[in-house]
Structure 1
Amino acid sequence: MSDPTSEPTPSTFRLDQVTPVTLNQPGDLIAAVPHLLCYYPTDALVVNVVGGTIEVTLCFTLPTDALSRSLIDQTVAAAARHPGAVVRGIVVGGGEPVEDLLPHAILVTRIQDALAEHDVPLHMFWTEAITAGARWRSYENPSYTGTVPDPKTSMLAVTSTVQGRRTFDSREDLAAVLRPDPQETLARRAALVDQLVDRGGRSRSVGESYRLVMQYVKRTGERAQALSDSDIAALAVALSDKRVRDACIATAAGEHAQAAERLWTELARQCPTPECAEPAALLATSAYLRGDGVLAALALDRAEAAWPGHHFVGLLRAALDSRMPPSTLRLLVDDAVAEVERMELEEPE
């Protein structure tokens, strides 16, 4: 590892293409972690691959020895995709230091050795918790220490809020956002979906169905009331046309991106199986494109449970597992935008 007492190289995180947030000190980076992950991790190892910006953020539950190899392999693979990058990691919790021996020092040494084989520099720090005033220390030199600034008032917290990103108290709280509605409620909506299909609900043109979905997207930003069962059924039927779903990918790049993501989140939870797979896939796409890999993974879990073997979901899972840069996935958005421009010229039947 490099000398931790030297002036640290600033890390820059971008919430979008125009909003850089520079993190100059280890404490700044630690305070930023909840906003990078969208939740506050505990007893975890957080790995940041830093190039010109923070390219990748990974979070692992602190492992047993049996799980360490997979964690190390994933860290090395993520760093290898960004030549010239530096890895800056944080162990959160995991016990108390014993004099100068920090928790999970053996794991940190193993990660260091693995990255050294690929000439990747490593800076590792420990903190008891990601809270204001918590002490952090360097693994290279435990006397190099400081305190964590308040994560809730940092520049990244403010910018995250402006961008519509919510930071949860735990991963479990984040996962609850996609917890399916009660089974009896979903069964009632499934019956409504069947009724709509029987009455020709899938006979609308692609353009008509797309415009219907977009009406709901545009109202979502101001809507205070929950969607009704009939609303959910109508949207489920519209999105069941893969051409409509593919066109809705375009919302991830437009002015309605936040409203669309909120609607996909609602529908992923509220639609019956298998129809919920489509909004869950749209949510995964939107989250992935803005760098929220945790929410993207949770949305894909929901989609895969609802529709095993779903082709588009499988492609997204492969992209996520291979740590494909969001910029590569943006080609999907460009294609969707072009398709929407074509469809919106169609006259309704």
Structure 2
Amino acid sequence: MTHHDTDRPDGRDTSTDPTTRQTPVITLTGVGDTLAAIPHLLGFHPTDSVMLLSGTQRGAPLSRTMRADLPPDHLVDVVAHDITASLADDDVSSALLVIVGGHDGCAEGGAASGGVRGGDGSAGELPPCARLVDALRRNLAVLGVTEVAAYWVPEIAADVWYRSYDDATRTGVVSDPASSVLAAEFASRGYVTYGSRAELASLLAPDGESELARRAELIETLRADVVETWPRAARVAVVRDALSAAGEGDLAFSDRQLATLAIVLADVEIRDACLATALPPDSDLAFAAASLWGELTRALPAPERAIPACLAGYAAYMGGNGVLAAIAFDAALDADPDHTLAGLLDRALRHGFPPRQLRPLATHDTVGLCAGEWLRDSA
């Protein structure tokens, strides 16, 4: 499967949320600094990946950072089109292409001439994946983006040599990702940069098969009783209690509690009300909700885990963590391929819709789940 990720854009829209802190302005000076920033922009250290960093004008903040797995040769044109298609409405004027890795199964040779410098700065072989770089440039040119730089690096780590696809003399070393100003800023705001996408995805990995099977059986046993005899107010109270517990750091739910939550969240009005917990993204409620949805995504069997995974994805999307949102939507659609809301949100994310355009989804709390100060009062 080819993963297509967007960044966790700290430049999220704050125009309607005065409580959100302003995004700091951090200037990246040179290719080495920019490469070192990529893991923090994505939320993980990419391997065997192609990145496209786009800008709307010189000196302005990056408008988008996108990543995809390096494709096999026969899918180069498809992946190049998929990566660039979402930029059509962005008024992009410049782009930076970065290939990480690619020694195995990636097209070799291409744009550069006269060789490039090797790992010690000496002349060496052409960078891999040049055909992919060429395909991306063709697609960007169709969009009117002709200012495109392209670099290859075997991995993003301190003192690793990078190479240009255009100029054999344009080479240098990557700055230390761990000691950059961007790393310090992200760490101060509670962001974690993971060692790999798989490590990040493990945050939502399901529990063991025996546990899931036991809970699936319990869900079937309880479903009729909860749906038919519990009034909606009682079902809303179940979610409120779980959110309060998550807000206190208590995620040790019993199998019966987990099964009940799975049944309650299947109520579309309650599910839609839960979307409202994602805003504002820096609130205590949003953090508590994100913890709860993550726990339920891990703890519930398919297809029930699709709903909390979708809610986890929406929370991550609104919080600017595009990669975690993509992972959550993948989990939701894996659990239930026909889950309509997860499918719509996944497509919106992959087509580059900014979070502000999806905020109206968080305005349909018809059951009063987020009314008042109940979360604070219950602490």
TM range (shorter): 0.7 to 0.9
Matching of residues 104-143 of structure 1 within 5 Å: 104-120=129-145, 121-143=147-169
Which residue is 2:94 aligned to? 86
Which residue is 1:42 aligned to? 47
Alpha-carbon distance between aligned partners in 1 of 2:184 and 2:227, rounded to the nearest angstrom: 44
SS at match of 1:49: strand
Q: Is the 8 A contact 1:88 1:123 kept in 2?
A: yes
Give the deviation of 1:201 after TM superposition.
5.4
Alpha-carbon distance between aligned partners in 2 of 1:300 and 1:13, rounded to the nearest angstrom: 18
Matching of residues 164-243 of structure 1 within 5 Å: 164-200=190-226, 203-223=229-249, 226-243=252-269
Which residue is 1:332 aligned to? 361
Matching of residues 336-347 of structure 1 within 5 Å: 336=364, 339=366, 344=371
Runs of 5+ in structure 1 lacking a partner?
1-11
CA gap of 1:187–1:84, structure 2 versus 1, over 3 A, is closer
Which residue is 1:244 aligned to? 270
Alpha-carbon distance between aligned partners in 2 of 1:34 and 1:243, rounded to the nearest angstrom: 38
Deviation string for 1:151-188 (max 9, x for gaps)? 22333323333444332211222222222212221121
Give the total of aligned pairs.
Answer: 333
RMSD between superposed Cα atoms in Å: 2.8
1:20 partnered with 2:24: yes
Runs of 5+ in structure 2 lacking a partner?
1-7, 15-21, 104-116, 373-379
Deviation string for 1:305-331 (max 9, x for gaps)? 322322212221332333322221122
Which residue, 283, 295, 302 being the options, matches 1:266?
Answer: 295
CA gap of 1:141–1:339, structure 2 versus 1, over 3 A, is farther
Q: Is the 8 A contact 2:10 2:320 kept in 1?
A: no
One-letter code aligned to 2:38: V
One-letter code aligned to 1:228: S
Alignment TM-score, normalising by the size of structure 2: 0.78
Give the deviation of 1:73 after TM superposition.
0.7
Which residue is 2:110 aligned to? none
Give the deviation of 1:66 after TM superposition.
0.7
One-letter code aligned to 1:246: D
CA gap of 1:322–1:78, structure 2 versus 1, over 3 A, is closer
One-letter code aligned to 2:154: E
Alpha-carbon distance between aligned partners in 2 of 1:83 and 1:33, rounded to the nearest angstrom: 22
CA gap of 1:38–1:206, structure 2 versus 1, over 3 A, is farther
Give the deviation of 1:271 after TM superposition.
0.9
One-letter code aligned to 2:28: N
Alpha-carbon distance between aligned partners in 2 of 1:202 and 1:285, rounded to the nearest angstrom: 29
SS at match of 1:319: helix
Q: Is the 8 A contact 1:79 1:85 kept in 2?
A: no
Deviation string for 1:100-149 (max 9, x for gaps)? 73222332233223322322121222222111222223333342333322
CA gap of 1:149–1:221, structure 2 versus 1, over 3 A, is farther
Alpha-carbon distance between aligned partners in 2 of 1:123 and 1:279, rounded to the nearest angstrom: 40
SS at match of 1:278: helix
SS at match of 2:79: helix
Which residue is 1:296 aligned to? 325
Give the deviation of 1:207 after TM superposition.
4.5
One-letter code aligned to 1:149: S
Deviation string for 1:14-57 (max 9, x for gaps)? 25442234242322221221122221111211112223433332
**Percent of residue pairs bearing the same amino acid type:** 36
Alpha-carbon distance between aligned partners in 2 of 1:234 and 1:268, rounded to the nearest angstrom: 14
Q: Which has the higher contact order (CA 8 A, sep 6+)?
A: 2
Deviation string for 1:241-268 (max 9, x for gaps)? 1111111111211312223212211111
Which residue is 2:38 aligned to? 33
Give the deviation of 1:282 after TM superposition.
0.3
One-letter code aligned to 1:34: P
Alpha-carbon distance between aligned partners in 2 of 1:286 and 1:188, rounded to the nearest angstrom: 28
Give the deviation of 1:224 after TM superposition.
5.6
Matching of residues 135-174 of structure 1 within 5 Å: 135-174=161-200
Alpha-carbon distance between aligned partners in 2 of 1:288 and 1:14, rounded to the nearest angstrom: 11
CA gap of 1:46–1:237, structure 2 versus 1, over 3 A, is same
Alpha-carbon distance between aligned partners in 2 of 1:73 and 1:150, rounded to the nearest angstrom: 32
Which residue, 336, 352, 370 being the options, matches 1:307?
Answer: 336
Alpha-carbon distance between aligned partners in 1 of 2:40 and 2:189, rounded to the nearest angstrom: 11
CA gap of 1:37–1:222, structure 2 versus 1, over 3 A, is same
One-letter code aligned to 2:127: L
SS at match of 1:137: strand
